[in-house]
Structure 1
């Protein structure tokens, strides 16, 4: 659609609009990679302009004084617009009470301030939550009273939690920036948010920002409420992690490794990131899995691993002992390790999985990982053999 992206901080409610709240907004947009085209406009700094136009409406008889406040005189008749999402919406002026536009302390209310600011900023499209539909006839009446052309109004569906109720703090993180600290990539978050209430058509879900811009149309906006599904967000984030290079992930993972107390060198960390990123949902997952591969102290048997050992402890131990002996003299490359382990399975008359899984459990504490030959390579010969030996000793 082209155009410009302008940012306005609506800070007329001084009790709620602190510098900290403003910083959360600016940091969140910056993290998402949504860059505004001009300097942000602070609504509170435009008080004189709001007062000027309220006084003009008063002088023209379109508003009146009541208990020190200026109240807008809402004209009778139909107030209608063609909503970009819902189609034609109509109200009757007689059903809407006259409303205050300037309080007795000479500060504007929301419905008046946004109209004045939108006119002065030459806003052409007002897209917002459909909980604002009831505000729109009041604002349209103000546009008309001020002699200004109407923008295109479009009311998008609300975002609900998994329980179908309006998204709130009880559903978890609600500020965009919170998800940065949960290990979500900004590109994944952008993609996920764009699909809340909008679809490009078909089953397409993973899109770059440029692709979303090209594909966007009002026709794709849905009218029903969208559901914020954290599981879906983590799945999408996993897709982006898989497609992101280890080099690009390193700056995000390294600080988390430092907090965990892992002191792996850059090359070792990069090698581990490559191995685990396709099975991770967040950068926190990546860091945890990297930590397991670089430092044995992070190996903790999960319930499935414990059950696998309990099903056949003697077989588990015997397999590890055989693998330990076979691997000691094996060249430490992924291909050579795979060949040796498959040969070992043939020698023992068992499937390759019977050899691979005990090694996986001993090295990671879990039953799911990258291919075992790659896992061994990432952990390194000295570390891997030591873990295998410790695992066999633990069963004695």
Structure 2
């Protein structure tokens, strides 16, 4: 259900965001009706649109609230309806940079990929889901069970094969998908089914918060979404405030490994999760290696030894080596037993840690940042217990215990 002129609108919108005033919010709520380009839709947007109509304000790329190509009183009506949770249609710019118009309210939802699943459970918006992907059942049963989804129809897995016939049979209003697959999936479904991509499962606090904001409006659960956002921001603020004035030269160096001899700098994935947590990533500013498709660097064992990192982190897939202390201990011993590693500062000082992927690649990724901060700056975060923070999140917003260890070993 996409407007055929969306590409031009997206280009103009993205250009406009480059010139958002410095006193604007850290991000813009990407919903049409957010006329003043802040992080919410409220009475200020009504005032702004009225100013456009009166000729005193400039049109913005989100001021056409009902997305009909003109700014008029109908847009004020639409904004009032969004504020009251009574809109019949809602137009958003998703994280695949696609303009998507949804019929509201949402009554039938298919989760064709992980990440949004956890967000919906956290904000108590689970009752509209009618089908889920196999990876949610296989890798996120701790989310599917509290969501009440384990017995729902399986719609396949995008990395092998989605069951498009099953999705069409379920007749959803919306299908959630990863940004890189959104267009492909959208093209294989009828126009009556909207496909939306939201990046709630990436190690980027701003994107996660933006995703919760949009989901809150879409599911009319704004209060619940704000509760989660406030919780995330509380700990994110603590980390940023305590580390912002640290001298980079005095910070410990670290190597973060996502796969065997594969790492990321502070701009991408695992490296981004650990950025601004009180350490220096040895991959930052290095031009020796050509980045891969996802920004990863395949590094040499010799280079890592030459950098002699103070701390080493290794990502572990869920439901494997961190399901028990026995397995974790064996995996850590295997990881450390690399040629020459016994001479590195990290190994000599007992600063090598395993971490579960979900610590960074889920809406709760602030848990990962708390762990990285604790490992890298233990004195600065002596009053922070990441395990307690993780338990707080799962008990408060998910309603169960996380089924495996987040890290091994736990910080001292």
**Is TM-score (shorter-chain normalized) higher than 0.5?**
no
If the length of structure 2 is used for normalisation, what is the TM-score? 0.26
If the length of structure 1 is used for normalisation, what is the TM-score? 0.27
Give 1 or 2 for the bigger CA radius of gyration.
1
Name the structure, 1 or 2, with higher relative contact order (CA <8 Å, separation 6+).
Answer: 2
